[in-house]
Amino acid sequence: MLESLLVVLLIGAVAWIGSCIGLTAVFGILLPYVAVSVFIVGLVRRMIYWAKSPVPFAIPTTGGQERSLDFIKQEKFDCPDTKFGVVIRMILEVCLFRSLFRNTQACSFENDPVNGGPRVVYYSSKWLWVFSLLFHYCFLIVFLRHFRFFIEPVPCCISVIEAVDGFLQIGSPRFFLTGGLLLVALVFLLCRRIFNERIRYISLANDYFPLWLLIGIVVSGICLRYFDKAEIAQVKIFIMGLTHFSPVISGLDLNGMFIVHLSLVSTLLIYFPFSKLVHMPGIFFSPTRNLPTNTREVRHVNPWNPPKQFFTYPEYEDTYRDAMAQAGLPLEKQPDKKS
């Protein structure tokens, strides 16, 4: 856990020092371009790799009654048997994280009065669902808010998002709720790994690193807005230069924290296709989510099975007819009695 934090801090420090010794072009222009290329090419490569992988078994997970007899009510979206149902389930999964909603937590009691001994109780646990939903939607809004740096003039939909996000009118520049909530959600997701001993036992560096990296991005972003302020007009000129493939750097006054923020985001983009964060496109490739529960109606053929050599009964009879006739076995077609 601490190693991941140190790595993130190291990346930040390197970017900061780089911006101080005049390597702004490396961290501000080269790194973002490399990062975006790696990100998009990496994701496409990963998706093609998944699409090439055969699904040997039909393994849809069921979250309710599957289609059965007419008088048994089917859970249409938790256990769909049609393509339409699967699409609905996928939309619910992607937009509302339905499978996390079913999350339970096991609690064991040494001496339970009900059992008169040890007992395990599975409680419904919605915290993970609440905070991951909070995290993902806040991240989406924060990402959309950044479009004010990508387009000139700023379209009104972005201004509406900002007006709603900052409707509390705290301070100046106005405090954006999603920025704060994003940090709260990330800290919860990190504390969950640190303080829940069962989850800490299964947590690895590749669980902690993305969390620390995202916390680094959010903290540097909040810092840029409220404390060590970047001059956003200059930032916009710089970013528009990047997105128009004619980067400008001379004459711009970009502060170190901005370069740190940009470098951490670039790190995230580079890391993304090779980490568990690829669940973004990966969710659509999950056989447990994208297959209909029609295993009793449709036979799922493993695509990597070799072509089967069938030996049908008529062929069998053709081969062994004489022997079968001698043994007095019943035959569909009698042997020719020439001899």
Which residues bind to other proteins, rule: CB under 8 A?
36, 39-40, 43-44, 47-48, 51-55, 146-154, 158-159, 162-163, 169, 171-174, 229-233, 236-237, 240-241, 243-244, 248, 253, 281, 284, 303
Structure tokens at 102: 């079913």
Decide: 285 and 51 in contact? Cβ < 8 Å: yes
Q: How far is the CB of 56 from other proteins (least distance, A)?
A: 12
Q: How far is the CB of 61 from other proteins (least distance, A)?
A: 19
When the beta carbons of 108 and 246 are compared against other proteins, the nearer one is 246
Find the angle CA(171)-CA(172)-CA(173) to the nearest 5 degrees.
120
Q: How far is the CB of 72 from other proteins (least distance, A)?
A: 31
For 150, phi and psi rounded to 5 degrees? -100, -15
Decide: 31 and 265 in contact? Cβ < 8 Å: no
Q: How far is the CB of 133 from other proteins (least distance, A)?
A: 20
When the beta carbons of 190 and 257 are compared against other proteins, the nearer one is 257
Q: How far is the CB of 85 from other proteins (least distance, A)?
A: 16
Structure tokens at 270: 């580079």
When the beta carbons of 125 and 295 are compared against other proteins, the nearer one is 295
Secondary structure percentages of the chain, helix, strand, coil, to 5: 60, 5, 35
When the beta carbons of 187 and 277 are compared against other proteins, the nearer one is 277
Burial class (CB in 10 A: 0-12, 13-18, 19+), 31: buried
Find the angle CA(262)-CA(265)-CA(267) to the nearest 5 degrees.
110
Q: How far is the CB of 44 from other proteins (least distance, A)?
A: 6
When the beta carbons of 42 and 180 are compared against other proteins, the nearer one is 42
Q: How far is the CB of 28 from other proteins (least distance, A)?
A: 15
Return d(Cα 89, Cα 91) in angstroms, integer: 5
For 111, phi and psi rounded to 5 degrees? -130, 85
When the beta carbons of 41 and 329 are compared against other proteins, the nearer one is 41
Q: How far is the CB of 160 from other proteins (least distance, A)?
A: 10
When the beta carbons of 189 and 257 are compared against other proteins, the nearer one is 257
Q: Which residues, other chains included, contact 242 with Cβ-Cβ below 8 Å and sequence gap of 6+? A: 29, 32, 33
Identify the residue whose tokens are 């059965």: 68
Q: How far is the CB of 288 from other proteins (least distance, A)?
A: 16
When the beta carbons of 67 and 148 are compared against other proteins, the nearer one is 148
Decide: 147 and 158 in contact? Cβ < 8 Å: yes
Q: Which helix (H) or strand (E) holds 104?
A: strand 104-112
Decide: 215 and 183 in contact? Cβ < 8 Å: yes
Return d(Cα 320, Cα 333) in angstroms, integer: 12
Decide: 266 and 8 in contact? Cβ < 8 Å: no
When the beta carbons of 218 and 235 are compared against other proteins, the nearer one is 235
